Amino acid sequence: METITLRIRLHKPTRTKDRLYRELTERTTALANNLVAAGRPKGLTSRTAGQYMPAPLPSAVVNQVIRDVAAHKRVERFRVLPPCFNNQTLRIQRAGDFWTASFPTHNGRVRVPLATTERQDRILEQVGKTVKQGAAKLYCKRGRWYLALSVTVPAAPCAGERVAGVDMGLRYLAVVNCEGETLFFKGDQAAYVRRRFNALRRRMGKAKALDAIRQMKDKEARWMRDQDHKISRAIVNWCLARGVGTIRMEKLEGIRNRRRRDRRDRGRSLHSWSFYRLQQFIAYKARLAGIRVEWVEAKNTSRTCPQCGHCGKENRNGIWFRCRSCGYHGHADAVGALNISRAISGLAGAA
């Protein structure tokens, strides 16, 4: 079983609906902040929370706010607390060619069309059968409204017997190796785009265009996330086409307290590229496709000969790998991915 979040876009709402959602969000946020200001009173219910409500709210939403406030003990002020609906309050239904969601608001229940992706359709199709519906949050991002719906899906049946290794780096964001067959994702274009973003930001920094800089950062972050989605999707599809049942990746350490083990690690610091996120994307897409994910120790993967096992720094020369012992040679990143697929330094705990 796997719990994932579907970010489902609401089909462009009318102006009235847009205002309704905004009001609803303002009210849940105000209620949350009033509860915080009152010292998070205990034992409240939607009936007894009335005195903290600036304006009426549906009781199911109030109950969620009470729960959310209790769950975020350390928050002193909620900037926005999106209205949340549990699986009994939010109803998802098919209406001909599309899906609708209905949920309560302070102006009665509304039923709205959803702009789902094909993948979301497939999952929604199974709700109440193999997929379990969880809670959903209504939120706005860049002028569009979304429902973040959490669902629990069953693990798919095993996809195959073969094992693939995925290595990450800056020259190649990702290299996949399945029994010698490889797939490369070049990092140059990514580096180029990021340099351009950086240069633009610097120029704007001189002009003190802070809003524009923030927007540019958002844009870059979106672009990177999108790249991660595309690469991870391509990797999983490539693996499925080859009967891969297990994907192995190096266990990377956390963001700030990672120690630099060797020089090769430096370029892979998570500040440079979100390798951690890319791995997580690969992992969840793989699991949904029935591919097992295993984490291996990130040790010696780039300097060990896949043919004879000889390990040494000198085996590696930039982009090329050449074994000093047996003469085996190949692309260094492909060798890394191959060693990862074989888990030469052993499997790590869950990451």
72-106 residues labelled b (16+ CB within 10 A) or e (exposed): eeeeeebeebbbbbebebbebeeeeeebbbebbbe
As measured in angstroms, the least distance from the Cβ of 311 to Zn ion is 9
Asked if 338 touches Zn ion (CB under 5 A), the answer is: no
By C-alpha distance, which of 52, 51, 60, 62 is closest to 28?
62
SS3 19: helix
Asked if 323 touches Zn ion (CB under 5 A), the answer is: yes
Asked if 155 touches Zn ion (CB under 5 A), the answer is: no
Q: Which is nearer to Zn ion, 203 or 313 (CB)?
A: 313
Asked if 44 touches Zn ion (CB under 5 A), the answer is: no
Asked if 328 touches Zn ion (CB under 5 A), the answer is: yes
Q: Which is nearer to Zn ion, 38 or 319 (CB)?
A: 319
For the chain, the distance separating the N- and C-terminal CA atoms, rounded to the nearest angstrom, is 17
Piece of 7-15, 74-82, 127-135, 325-333 that binds Zn ion (CB under 5 A): 325-333
Q: Which is nearer to Zn ion, 125 or 314 (CB)?
A: 314
Q: Which is nearer to Zn ion, 187 or 306 (CB)?
A: 306
Asked if 324 touches Zn ion (CB under 5 A), the answer is: no
Q: Which is nearer to Zn ion, 70 or 326 (CB)?
A: 326
- The footprint of Zn ion on this chain (CB under 5 A) covers a number of residues equal to 8
Q: Which is nearer to Zn ion, 105 or 315 (CB)?
A: 315
SS3 254: coil
- What is the spatial distance between Cα 273 and Cα 13, in angstroms, rounded to a whole number? 36
Piece of 152-160, 183-191, 198-206, 324-332 that binds Zn ion (CB under 5 A): 324-332
As measured in angstroms, the least distance from the Cβ of 315 to Zn ion is 8
Asked if 325 touches Zn ion (CB under 5 A), the answer is: yes
The residue to which tokens 């390990």 are assigned: 311
- Applying the rule CB under 5 A, the residues between 246 and 305 that interact with Zn ion are 305
Asked if 238 touches Zn ion (CB under 5 A), the answer is: no
By C-alpha distance, which of 12, 5, 222 is closest to 115?
12
What token pair was written down for 29? 């946020």
What token pair was written down for 112? 């709205």
Q: Which is nearer to Zn ion, 37 or 308 (CB)?
A: 308
By C-alpha distance, which of 217, 283, 220 is closest to 250?
283
Burial of 21 (0-12, 13-18, 19+ CB in 10 A): buried
Asked if 307 touches Zn ion (CB under 5 A), the answer is: yes
DSSP assignment string, 41-103: -SS--TTGGGGG-SS---HHHHHHHHHHHHH-TT-S--S----EE-TTT-EEEEETTEEEEEE
Residues 70, 49: contact at Cβ < 8 Å? no
Piece of 42-50, 68-76, 96-104, 306-314 that binds Zn ion (CB under 5 A): 306-314
155, 199, 308, 319: residue in contact with Zn ion (rule CB under 5 A): 308
As measured in angstroms, the least distance from the Cβ of 178 to Zn ion is 21
What token pair was written down for 311? 């390990």
251, 310, 331, 342: residue in contact with Zn ion (rule CB under 5 A): 310
SS3 345: coil
Q: What angle do CA 199, 202, 208 make, to 5 degrees?
A: 145
Q: Which is nearer to Zn ion, 222 or 324 (CB)?
A: 324
Asked if 156 touches Zn ion (CB under 5 A), the answer is: no
Report the DSSP beta bridge partners of residue 139. Answer: 146
Q: Which is nearer to Zn ion, 145 or 321 (CB)?
A: 321
Asked if 335 touches Zn ion (CB under 5 A), the answer is: no
- Write out the residues near Zn ion by the rule CB under 5 A: 305, 307-308, 310, 323, 325-326, 328
